Amino acid sequence: MAARSDLVQCRRMRTTLVLSSPRKLSPDCPVKLVEALEILKKNPTAESPALQVQLACGFTPLHFQTFLGAHLRGAFPAHRVGAFGDLAGNLERLAGLQASTVVAVIEGSDLDPRLGIRILGGWRPNQLGEFLQAARLQAARIRTAFETLAPENTLVVVLPTLPIPPVAFTSGSQASVLEYELYSLRASIASKLLQLQSVRVVNPQKLNELSPIWNRFDAKAELNTGFPYSLNHADILARLVTVLVSNPQPKKGLITDLDNTL
């Protein structure tokens, strides 16, 4: 494996990572957790290019932050992790930020805590309407925070990737109104955010190809540490985010025949 180097400095609510590596950027090139940790142990070269990245999420970033740091080679990302369980508050605290990149990871529990497994209750049939009302209000708050940050920064957004918990009173084979209202809300958030020029949203179809939905959630890790992702899903998501942060321009190819003519 090609040589890679980084420096990690931890300060209260901020983790600074200096990364340097000739490793080719590719969403199809996985990294194991032990490899990612080794990358983050090594010192960078003095001429390492710099890039400021603020990471905002409502869960404990744990291995996702590790994988993201490993994939962001040749950069100097400063991850600012706010209060646990407060994505909207984290984004609002970044108001005034300029010339930076913000990576925001949204999950269902950021729209309503009852859409996670750490807070139980409130799942009665007559309370299902509250899910949608609360989720819409929180989505509007998050969208407003994005609109505040967008003019001066680059925003990379991950929309909910985890399965919706079985809160509706339908069989597992039957879709529910609640589920499709949440899907509609997610699509509405994406549609509005993509109208902002500086916003890049992870493609859900590409994510589905690389990370099957049944292999994304780790209930044990969520309950023990507040980190909801399997290692495989965290790595794949970090890879896709890294591509959007780096924003490589598409290449054009010139095809010639055997006579070297067009």
Condensed to tens digits (0 to 9), the pLDDT of residues 59-114 reads: 999 999 999 988 886 455 444 444 556 899 999 999 988 988 999 999 999 999 88
For residue 94, tell me if it sits in a domain.
yes
Query: Distances from the Cα of 160 to the Cαs of 96, 139, 201, in angstroms?
Result: 26, 12, 11
pLDDT score for 79: 44
Task: State the CATH number of the domain containing residue 30.
Answer: 3.40.50.1110
The band of 22, judged by pLDDT with boundaries at 50, 70 and 90, is: very low
54, part of any domain: yes
Structure-token pair, residue 167: 């809160």
- The model's confidence at residue 236, banded by pLDDT at 50, 70 and 90, is very high
The pLDDT value recorded for residue 23 is 46
Predicted confidence (pLDDT) per residue in 151-163, tens digit:
999 999 999 999 9
Q: How confident is the model at residue 192 (pLDDT cuts 50, 70, 90)?
A: very high
Q: Is residue 157 part of a domain?
A: yes
219 pLDDT more than 90: yes
Q: Is residue 133 part of a domain?
A: yes
Task: Report the Cα–Cα distance between both ends of the chain, in Å, rounded.
Answer: 39
Better-predicted residue by pLDDT, 44 or 132:
132
Percent of the chain as helix, strand, coil, to the nearest 5: 40, 15, 45
Q: Which domain holds residue 215?
A: 5-165+176-246
Cα(86)–Cα(142) distance, rounded to whole angstroms? 11
Tens digit of each residue's pLDDT (9 = 90 or more) over 100-111:
899 999 999 999
Say what the pLDDT of residue 120 is. 67
Residue 51 lies in a domain: yes
The 10s digit of each residue's pLDDT in 198-216 is 999 999 999 999 999 999 9
Q: Does the pLDDT at position 57 exceed 70?
A: yes
Residue 260 confidence (pLDDT): 62
Question: Do the domain assignments include residue 259?
Answer: no
Q: State both tokens at 174.
A: 């039957």
Residue at 171 is within a domain: no
The C-alpha atoms of residue 179 and residue 163 are separated, in whole angstroms, by 10
Count structural domains, the chain.
1
In-domain check, residue 262:
no
**Residue 146, pLDDT score:** 96
Q: Using 50, 70 and 90 to split pLDDT, how confident is the model at 252? A: low
45 pLDDT tier (thresholds 50, 70, 90): low
pLDDT for the residue 85 = 65
Strand partners, 75: none
Q: What is the pLDDT of residue 18?
A: 37
Which pLDDT belongs to residue 148?
95
